[in-house]
Amino acid sequence: MSDADKAENKLQDLGGNAKEAVGKSTENAGEKVKEAGEKVKEAGEKLKEEAGEKVKEAGEKVGEKIKEAGEKVKDVFEKK
């Protein structure tokens, strides 16, 4: 085997190693992106849950205030 053939084989081996490393890096990056996406989804669900509770609480408070206002209006008309 000539030196040129040896050099060509070595270059092919190095090229194969580089492709393999890029493939693994891409796979690892894909897994990290997937994990990050799952965390964002979980955070969004938690935020939605908490926001829903806050909206419910606010709705209840508004309902109470409207009821109080209605009673005050009723009292005004009953005193006349």
Q: What pLDDT, on a 0 to 100 scale, did the predictor assign at position 28?
A: 84
- Looking at residue 80, its pLDDT comes to 63
Per-residue pLDDT of the chain (80 residues; tens, 9 = 90+): 787 777 878 788 888 888 888 888 888 888 899 999 999 999 999 999 999 999 999 999 999 999 999 999 988 888 76
* Residue with the two structure tokens 């070595």: 10
CA distances from residue 23 to 10, 11, 29 in whole angstroms, order as listed: 20, 18, 10
d(CA 74, CA 68): 10
CA distance 18 to 2: 24
Distance CA 71, CA 4 (A): 99
